[in-house]
Amino acid sequence: MTSCREAQHQEKLLSHGKVAASFDGGWQKRGSGWNYNSNTGHATMIGKETGKIMLWDQRSRSCKTCEYHLANQTQIPDHLCSKNWYGSSKAMESDMAVSMAHTLKNEGCEIKVIHADNDAATTSKLKVDFEDLEKRDDQNHLKKGLSKSLHQMSVKYKELKQDDTREYILRCFMYAITGGTTEDDIKVSLDRIVPHIFGNHDSCREVTWCKYKENPTNFKYRSLPGGNPLTNESLKEELLVLVSKYTSRSDAIAELGSTQANESFNQMASSKAPKSRHYGGSCSLKNRLSAAVLQKNEGYSYLPKVNEASNLSPGDFTTSLTSKMDAKRKKRKQASNKKEIKKRRISLKKKKNLNERKSTIKEGPTYETQFELNMDNTENVPQIPQQIMISGSESKVSMS
Ligand SMILES: [Zn+2]
Ligand SMILES: [Zn+2]
């Protein structure tokens, strides 16, 4: 597909040959992302510089034509068979990653760095064929892991029972981790967090986010109770241990990638091929996915181009409508980075978390992610939850 070829070419130019891609897969199945018995799945490799899809792939375990003739015990005619996968659905994702990595290499756009989530078996499969491939942590998963660690610590420290406090610490970590580009940057920024939270601003001087230096006498922490720094010494010790866990891995953290682009594509894909309907049994799914790829890479104006390519009139109405839709998309993208919009997003999140917390109390935790940093299982003994008063600021789930 020319759109993907073009994206590969751009990515290669912009990355000076060190192509970095983010990888993630999606499923065509109603329900949650962690059930693995879907018959069809797709995956994308998205260039880090361009944000465009360089390659996509799709696997299906079923074909309606084959099934029809098998059921009626008639001869299967020649047809465009949609079945291209005979293994388990679980193995689809890593198979697509490996085959796409090979295709990209063959097309002269070998990937050197991959961003993928931490709990997939994909990386180890990739390493078999591509020894030198660098794996980077994915931002969302790192954040979830951190949030979980802080949550576990809140059993022991009442300070961390306040959601605002936990979220503030999490934000400090994420600033440090995403703000730096070199390993040293990240180490320095990480080491600054704990002293800052505990009222020592000596090393905050060169950063803009700490307002202490502007007015030391009236300085208040906006997100800590009473505007005061934390004081508990043993909590400080434990937070320092947590920091050191991340500084020791700052090589994997540097230039932290994000699979957000892939996730946004998955959403686009599900608007073209709703999970409640089954398109995987025919070529329909493939066509619907490639429409989503075009929308991602070219914007809505892909429609007149497709019309032209299939010798249809591009249509004045379609052209003007799609350029309007593209302008809207651009505007929304710009707006989402503004401060007020970000604030609103946080407050909506809080509201949602309140509801979620309410049902968690009723049901108990039903699903939690595993994170590779948390090897220590001794503290994970199940406990009967204490009675919790809800103020609206608590959160069980990290901001992502
Ligand atoms: Zn078939
Ligand atoms: Zn400070």
Q: What is the pLDDT of residues 71-125, one digit of tens each?
A: 999 999 998 888 899 988 778 888 999 999 999 999 999 999 888 765 557 888 8
Q: How close is the Cα of 289 to the center of ligand 1, in Å? A: 19
Residue 383 pLDDT class (50, 70, 90 cuts): low
Q: How close is the Cα of 193 to the center of ligand 2, in Å? A: 8
Task: Note the pLDDT tens digit of each residue in 283-331.
Answer: 788 888 888 888 888 887 777 777 776 666 667 777 777 777 888 877 7
Calpha distance 216→213 (Å, rounded): 6
Q: Which domains does the chain have, with CATH numbers?
A: 2-136 (3.30.420), 139-256+337-377 (no CATH)
DSSP string, 266-325: HHHHHHHS-TTS--TTSTHHHHHHHHHHHHHHH-TTHHHHHHHHTTS---HHHHHHHHHH
Q: What is the pLDDT of residue 391?
A: 58
Burial class (CB in 10 A: 0-12, 13-18, 19+), 172: buried
The pTM of the full predicted model, rounded to 2 decimals, is 0.60
Q: How close is the Cα of 86 to the center of ligand 1, in Å? A: 12
Report percent pLDDT > 90 for the chain.
25
Lowest pLDDT segment from 76-90, 223-237, 324-338, 364-378: 364-378
Indicate if the pLDDT at residue 153 is higher than 90: yes
Q: How close is the Cα of 270 to the center of ligand 1, in Å? A: 23
Q: How close is the Cα of 213 to the center of ligand 2, in Å? A: 8
Task: Note the pLDDT tens digit of each residue in 41-55.
Answer: 899 999 988 889 999
What tokens were used for 190?
A: 């990480």
Q: Which ligand is nearest to the CA of 84?
A: 1
Q: Which ligand is nearest to the CA of 282?
A: 1
As a whole number, the mean pLDDT across the chain is 79
Kindly report the three-state secondary structure assignment for every residue of 186-216: HHHHHHHHHHHHCCCCHHHCCCCCCCHHHCC
Q: How close is the Cα of 375 to the center of ligand 2, in Å? A: 31
Q: How close is the Cα of 210 to the center of ligand 2, in Å? A: 5
CA geometry: angle 74, 80, 83, nearest 5 deg? 80
Indicate if the pLDDT at residue 234 is higher than 90: yes
Task: Note the pLDDT tens digit of each residue in 266-289.
Answer: 888 888 887 777 777 777 888 888
Q: How close is the Cα of 104 to the center of ligand 1, in Å? A: 27
Q: Which ligand is nearest to the CA of 193?
A: 2
What tokens were used for 289?
A: 């996915």
Q: Which ligand is nearest to the CA of 214?
A: 2
Residue 124 one-letter amino acid: S
Rg (CA), the chain: 24
Q: Which ligand is nearest to the CA of 211?
A: 2
Candidates 306, 276, 311; CA nearest to 291 is 306
Q: Which ligand is nearest to the CA of 203?
A: 2
Q: How close is the Cα of 22 to the center of ligand 2, in Å? A: 34
Lowest pLDDT segment from 26-30, 32-36, 58-62, 77-81: 32-36
Residue 1 pLDDT class (50, 70, 90 cuts): low
CA of residue 300 relative to chain centroid, distance: 23
Q: How close is the Cα of 45 to the center of ligand 1, in Å? A: 27
